[in-house]
Amino acid sequence: MILVTGGAGFIGANFVLDWLRTSDEPVVNLDALTYAGNLENLASLQGDPRHIFVQGDICDRALIDRLFAEHRPRAIVHFAAESHVDRSIHGPGDFVRTNVNGTFTLLEAARGHWMSLEGEAKGGFRFHHVSTDEVYGSLGPNDPAFTETKTYEPNSPYSASKAASDHLVRAWHHTYGLPVTTSNCSNNYGPYHFPEKLIPLMIANALAGKPLPVYGDGMQIRDWLFVTDHCSAIRAILAKGTPGEVYNVGGWNEKPNIEIVNTLCALLDELKPDPAGSYRRLITYVTDRPGHDRRYAIDARKIERELGWRPAETFDTGIRKTVEWYLANQNWVAHVQSGAYRDWVEKNYAGRE
Ligand code: NAD
Ligand code: DAU
Distance 316 CA to ligand 1 centre (A): 25
Count of helices and strands (H, E) across the chain = 14, 13
* Assigned domain for 35 exists: yes
> What's the confidence (pLDDT) of residue 212?
98
> What's the confidence (pLDDT) of residue 12?
98
Instruction: Give the number of whichever ligand sits closest to the CA of residue 202.
Output: 2
Nearest 5 degrees, angle CA 8-CA 135-CA 83?
25
Query: Does the beta carbon of 132 lie inside 6 Å of ligand 2?
Result: yes
Query: Is-contact 242 181, C-beta < 8 A?
Result: yes
Give the separation between CA 211 and CA 188, rounded to whole angstroms.
Answer: 23
Distance 345 CA to ligand 2 centre (A): 15
Q: Domain residues for 136?
A: 2-188+224-250+295-312
Q: What is the pLDDT along the chain (353 residues), one digit of tens a residue?
A: 999 999 999 999 999 999 999 999 999 999 999 999 999 999 999 999 999 999 999 999 999 999 999 999 999 999 999 999 999 999 999 999 999 999 999 999 999 999 999 999 999 999 999 999 999 999 999 999 999 999 999 999 999 999 999 999 999 999 999 999 999 999 999 999 999 999 999 999 999 999 999 999 999 999 999 999 999 999 999 999 999 999 999 989 999 999 999 999 999 999 999 999 999 999 999 999 999 999 999 999 999 999 999 999 999 999 999 999 999 999 999 999 988 999 999 999 998 88
> What's the confidence (pLDDT) of residue 308?
98
* Assigned domain for 183 exists: yes
Give per-residue burial for 280-317: e unless 16+ CB within 10 Å, then b.
eebbebbeebeeebebbbbbbebbeeebebebebebee
* Assigned domain for 281 exists: no
* Assigned domain for 172 exists: yes
Q: Which of 136, 158, 247, 296 is catalytic?
A: 158
Specify the residue with its C-alpha closest to ligand 1, atom 29: 79
Task: Indicate the pTM of the whole model.
Answer: 0.98
Specify the residue with its C-alpha closest to ligand 1, atom 15: 81
> What's the confidence (pLDDT) of residue 351?
87
* Assigned domain for 12 exists: yes
* Assigned domain for 284 exists: no
CATH code for position 21: 3.40.50.720
For residue 49, give the DSSP letter.
T
> What's the confidence (pLDDT) of residue 310?
97
Q: Which of 31, 57, 82, 133 is catalytic?
A: 133
C-alpha distances (whole Å) from 291 to each of 86, 89, 158 are 10, 9, 12
Query: Is-contact 31 7, C-beta < 8 A?
Result: yes
Domain count, the chain: 1
The three-state secondary structure class of 152 is coil
* Assigned domain for 275 exists: no
Q: Say whether 134 is catalytic.
A: yes
C-alpha distances (whole Å) from 40 to each of 6, 36, 329 are 14, 11, 11
Give the separation between CA 5 and CA 12, rounded to whole angstroms.
Answer: 7
* Assigned domain for 116 exists: yes
